[in-house]
Amino acid sequence: MAPPLFSLSDIVLTFGGDPLLSGASLEVREGARIALVGRNGSGKSTFLKIAAGLVEADQGDRTVRSGVTFRYLEQDPDFTSFPSAEAVVADGLGPLDDPADIGRLLGALDIDPAASPAPMSGGEKRKVAIARALAPRPEVLLLDEPTNHLDLETILWLEGELKRRRGALVVISHDRRFLENLTTETVWLDRGTTRRLGKGFGAFEAWRDTVFEEEELAAHKLDRQIAREEDWLRYGVTARRKRNVRRLANLHDLRRQASERRGPQGSVDLAVSEAESSGKLVIEAKGLSFSYGERPIVAGLDLKVARGDRVGVIGPNGAGKTTLLNLLLGTQDPDQGTIRHGTKLEIVALDQERGALREDIRLMDALTEGRGDQITIGGKPRHALSYLKDFLFSPEQARQPVAALSGGERGRLALAIALAKPSNLLVLDEPTNDLDLETLDVLEEALSDYQGTLLLVSHDRDFLDRVVTSTLTPVPEEQPGRWREYPGGYDDMVRQRGFAVAPSDESPARPAKAKPAPAKRKPSGKLSFKDKHALETLPARMEELERMIAEHGLALGDPDLFTRDPDAFSRAQKGLTEAQAELEAAEEQWLELEMKREELEG
């Protein structure tokens, strides 16, 4: 067997206090597709920088096969010293690399080669960084959150590009679907060490849960053994002193093992603070239109959002998702049409850029708006330090300025502030950016329990599928500026539409065809909002389908219908076939969900 392209073994790194890494290892062979996963703060990005040779470990070995080429995609690249995007990508090429790939990649990513990087948005800088990493066609690609700030169209393009490449890949990402579609191995960085699973990310979460269950059982056995030995120490006889001294030493060793035991990193505890219920109607748009110059953003939109609806908004960057939200919320005036809001609305919005976070104030003051150290959650007072602890912030961090936070920590703080405010209409613009997988799980559950209305902009396909009940997306193939609402989540939209996201007017990339949905991850112990909603609404839909089947059957029972009106006969026949198929699918779905509910409820 050929030696690995590179390996890290027994890596130790300490940034004061407990070691960040304490014996972590990684082996990358030709063609490997590895998902590097772990909680925020577990050291994934640092470990990847050690793999790239950018950070030196305190202890351990980094071994690289002779001649192997690397490219590393960092989370926050700085290209301000370069005059153009083309210069950024060209600077990353080696003497034997083909410069022809520069234009192809920047074109596919919709980036002007002559554009200056300095004024670019986060998403545009990420695209330039991706082109810089891909252009040399390295043997090893190390990607740190490559989908952050990218739209769905670009994520789908990047998936296809990476699948076609033969080089090895190590990727950190919070995008479950991205990891499921690309990886064949998983390396879990947890409490300073690594574990390897010889399967892709799709199998990781069930395996992780099994590991935690086994650790919990082992910890319980250790505690029981310590209790027995302590009981012997208090009440045992003193005969055979040598044996007793040895047994006492064993007890000290057991206590040391228990004291050194590190449980899983703390989990985020999220809950949405809810206001009094709004009226049944939340937002109604009629004939809504808005343009930037000659470019239509919204054209003739009719939309009704009722209390409890979960509307996902998806589309390419530049399609106008944030503008659409502003129009619906009334913070931006339309060119034509009307917006009507329901009664008793309490709106809380989380913007994509986290612009509400001031850099110079402490986390506590950002949460309480400088009004002491107490906040009110669900009508009850709570200390700010205790609330921030639920979001994995230490008391020391709570007293630090916002400027000291990482991207993931800023995302958690912005969520903490938004969810603490009472609302019955929650507007979240890209809430999944910079969050780890476990935090996404908890956010999903918190939103499932939320009784208010949700408007959600996201590029995370898995998150959309589990949270929303309808999907709003631009359909420029019908008319520029036209938006259409599809029942269900992302996968439901793809099935109805036949493809994923249509490109924006300026983008040369083609929309991806629909693909089979990946295997679902292990249930969280409760039905998702989407499943609960389906259980509640499917019986009424099945009754309606049965009525339609009866009507079509009655029409087809007329022996003269075909002779009198062939078109009506064809419509009735087609309607009967479609209604029967939909009824069968609805009955199967309801039965599966009902069995799932009974299983979860024990």
Say how far apart CA 302 and CA 284 lie, in whole Å.
8
Give pLDDT, residue 33.
96
421 near 376, Cβ under 8 Å?
Answer: no
Q: Is 320 helix (H, G, I), strand (E, B) or coil?
A: coil
Give pLDDT, residue 519.
45
Give the predicted TM-score (pTM) of the model: 0.70
Say how far apart CA 372 and CA 8 lie, in whole Å.
48
Q: Encode pLDDT of 50-88 as tens digits.
A: 999 999 999 999 999 999 999 999 888 889 899 999 999
Q: Encode pLDDT of 344-398 as tens digits.
A: 999 988 876 555 678 888 988 888 888 888 888 767 788 888 888 877 788 888 8
Q: Encode pLDDT of 573-584 as tens digits.
A: 888 888 887 887
Q: Which helix (H) or strand (E) holds 127?
A: helix 122-134
The torsion angles phi and psi of 445, rounded to 5 degrees, stand at: -65, -40
Give the ranges where 336-423 is alpha helix by DSSP (H): 363-368, 384-390, 395-398, 407-420
Give pLDDT, residue 264.
55
Q: Encode pLDDT of 111-142 as tens digits.
A: 999 999 988 887 889 999 999 999 999 999 99
Token look-up 């090893």 returns 140
Joined together, the tokens standing for residue 523 give: 């249930």
Joined together, the tokens standing for residue 183 give: 């990886």
188 near 210, Cβ under 8 Å?
Answer: no
Q: Is 143 helix (H, G, I), strand (E, B) or coil?
A: strand
User: Higher model confidence: residue 34 or residue 411?
Assistant: 34
Question: What's the rounded mean pLDDT across residues 399-409?
Answer: 80
Q: Encode pLDDT of 12-60 as tens digits.
A: 999 766 788 999 999 999 999 999 999 877 889 999 999 999 999 999 9
Q: Spell out the residues 6+ positions from residue 467 whose beta carbon is closer than 8 angstroms to its own.
A: 310, 312, 444, 447, 448, 454, 456, 489, 528, 529, 530
Joined together, the tokens standing for residue 201 give: 């990310």
448 near 304, Cβ under 8 Å?
Answer: no
Q: Spell out the residues 6+ positions from residue 582 whose beta carbon is closer than 8 angstroms to its own.
A: 545
Joined together, the tokens standing for residue 82 give: 């370069």
Q: Encode pLDDT of 259-312 as tens digits.
A: 555 555 555 556 677 767 888 999 999 999 999 888 999 999 999 999 999 999
Q: Spell out the residues 6+ positions from residue 205 whose beta carbon is closer than 8 angstroms to its own.
A: 437, 521, 522
For residue 3, give the amino acid letter.
Answer: P
Q: Which of 94-103, 428-437, 490-499 has the lowest mean pLDDT?
A: 428-437
The mean of the pLDDT values for the chain is 83
State the pLDDT confidence band at 520, using cuts at 50, 70 and 90: very low
Range of 17-21, 163-167, 224-228, 524-528 with top mean pLDDT: 163-167
- Strands 295-306, 281-292: pairing is antiparallel
